[in-house]
Each structure stands twice: as structure tokens, then as C-alpha cells.
Amino acid sequence: MNKLITNRTKVLKLTNVLRYVCQIEKEDFDFNISIVQMQSFIRSKGAVQVGPLIQYINSYVNENGEIKMDICLMLQCNTYIHSIEEPYKMESVIRVPNCMYCRYIGSEDKLSFAYQKIQIEAFENDIPLKGDSYTVFVSRDDENDIITADVFMERADS
């Protein structure tokens, strides 16, 4: 049931977003623990998580010529949380217009095909990309080891 469905112009819109910039250089960093902590924080503020996990990745070259990557985990809430504490940030709306998009259905270890599909389609059609991506983890079927994920990559020609 592997599947890739693409679109060249999609808009990503997220509301009431709790953001956490990951400290992946720390030895004891664990994505799963960070997600559980975010969910607990949302509940402790009287809000409810709406929708799935969103992962933002931005790749860049630093001043030393090294390739670096920022990773941010995001969860949408049913309401805006006003009393935010570090390490979290809250945004009322994140709107990313003019994205290339790929819906991926398959095993999680092959999710990179969705990113590659967008990059190949952009290359073939002379569409410049900004180099960042948003991955929305729509659903997971643990029994069959299948995930559904939506990948958005912002175009640089907008």
C-alpha cells in the first residue's frame, strides 16, 4: 500500500500552535519524551491537542561552512495558551503559502521518499525550494507498520 501523491501549490495553515525547538545536540535528547512533555504541558494549561504532530526542519550552512539543521516540534491546540513558559513558544497562526506537497503512505523508514519526490519534481520543473519542510504525521497503523504523512516544502519562487 505504498503511495505518493503530489501537488505543486498547497497552503499549510496551522492555528494555536505550541512550538518546541529541539536540542538535538544534547546526548540525552529523545523525541518521544519531548512530545509527551508537550502534550502534558498543553493539558496542564487546560487546553486540548487538536490534530497530529507536525515536525519542522530547516537546513542551513553555518558561518564555519558546516551543514546544520534546526528541528521544531509543533502541536496545535483547541485554544491559544497565553501563559507560555520556556522552552515553548505559542503562535496563533502559522501560514505557509505556495508549498510543494506530498502525501506519503508507507512504512516510516521510507518517509524520505516523500522529500525526494518533491525535490525531484521541483528539479524537473525548475521550481526553487527554500530548503525547509513541514511534516504532518496524519496517522499511524502500528499493526501493519504503515504511516500517513503530509510533507510540505516551501517554494522560493513565491
Distances, alpha carbon 8 to alpha carbons 27, 31, 59, 126, 137, in Å: 38, 30, 21, 12, 20
Q: Please state the rounded mean pLDDT for residues 139-143.
A: 89
Q: Is 48 a residue whose pLDDT tops 90?
A: yes
Cα pseudo-dihedral 96, 97, 101, 107, rounded to 10 = 10
Mean pLDDT score, 25-49: 88
Mean pLDDT throughout 98-117?
A: 95
Q: How far apart are the first and last CA of the chain?
A: 34
Asked if pLDDT for residue 23 goes beyond 80, the answer is: no
pLDDT of residue 65: 85
pLDDT band at 130 (very low <50, low <70, confident <90, very high): very high
**Average pLDDT value for the chain:** 91
Mean pLDDT of 68-78: 92
Tell whether the model's pLDDT for residue 97 goes beyond 80.
yes
